[in-house]
Structure 1
Amino acid sequence: MTSTPLLRVLPADGRERLMEFAHEVSFPEGARIFEERRLADRFWIIRTGSVNLDIQVPGGRPAVVDMLGHGDLVGWSWLVPPYTWHMGAEAFTPVRAYEFDATAVRALCDADPALGLAVTRRVLDVVARRLQATRLRLADMSGPARSAMPSPP
């Protein structure tokens, strides 16, 4: 389990205490794990399988914005008030994961500021990497359209 990026950066005792809040879960292919704008009261670390992150599109099906796999953190909204999901998630393949109770983990992080800082930094790193990946995808999608636009004077 220490091979996952989130846990690898934590001190060994912090990793062990965090794992006390974990339990194994599984999701069949196509299962909705969470929905955008709903309460973010837990998070997961994928053991096997893959998960699509998506956003609601008015009048259509959710649009996939990222795919996560082994060792990835699923969900970061549990760490930031008001604790509501900014995206949705669906099992693309059958998934096995460790599920964590967000309230208990936040309390652990509050009680141990060094561990809380390490967890927060790691989650922030995940958010930053996903934001950068999204920016690159959007740039790829708009590349031809931008070249057709007139240059500013």
Structure 2
Amino acid sequence: MTGLLGALSSEHAERLRALGREVSFPAGVRIFEEGYRADRFWIIRTGSVTLDQRVPGRSAQAVETIGHGELLGWSWLFRPYIWHLGAETGSPVRALEFDAAEVRRMCEDDHELGYALALAVGEIISHRLQRSRTRLLDAYGPHGYSDRL
């Protein structure tokens, strides 16, 4: 198993999975907007979602497309629980949806699970921020700048 659930022990993955509920979104739907309250997250089962970031004076810039097994949304885990990116479906999506407050309570009750989840989400954030930086440098920086990093 890949993605967030694959990064957790089988026991922790099962406990988290048990809190999820199946949802679906048609293609072209905005799932969340940058700057709004982050009160849930998803693990993508099928389909794709494009993450985007507002760029002053320009339209939102796509920073990454995610799919099967991947975490959609991490802002729910860290105060002030506000989305740092926006998200739009690129195709029909089926996902497991999680209530953020419920998952945070579970993490508070089981610190080992909370620590494992925080580490897994932190690794995802690190990779996404690096890819976002690279894409923005490719789009708006001097030609070839990101290749030198």
Question: Is contact 2:63-2:136 (8 Å) kept?
Answer: no
Alpha-carbon distance in structure 2 between the residues aligned to 1:13 and 1:135: 35
Aligned to 2:88: 90
Q: Aligned partners of 1:49, 1:70: CA distance in 2, in Å? A: 7
2:128 aligned partner, one-letter code: R
Mapped partners of 2:37, 2:132: distance in 1:
23
TM-score, length-normalised on structure 1?
0.86
Unaligned runs of 5+ in 2: none
Letter in structure 1 aligned against 2:129 = L
Q: What is the SS of the residue equivalent to 1:70?
A: coil
2:39 equivalent to 1:41? yes
Aligned to 1:104: 102
User: Counterpart in 2 of 1:144?
Assistant: 143
Give the gaps of 5 or more residues in structure 1: 147-153
Instruction: Compute the RMSD of aligned alpha carbons.
Output: 1.7
- The count of aligned residue pairs is 144
Within the alignment, does 1:13 sit opposite 2:11 as a pair? yes
C-alpha distance in 2 between matches for 1:10 and 1:102:
17
Report the Cα distance in structure 2 between the residues aligned to 1:60 and 1:143, rounded to whole angstroms: 17
Report deviation, 1:14: 1.6
3-12 vs 62-71, which deviates more? Answer: 3-12
Shift in Å, 1:125 = 0.3
Report sequence identity in percent. 52
Task: Provide the residue aligned with 1:78 in structure 2.
Answer: 76
Instruction: Tell me the SS of whatever aligns to 1:37.
Output: coil
CA distance in 2: counterparts of 1:18 and 1:45, whole angstroms: 11
Deviates more, 1:61-70 or 1:137-146: 137-146
Q: Deviations over 1:120-142 (max 9, x none)?
A: 00000000001111232234342
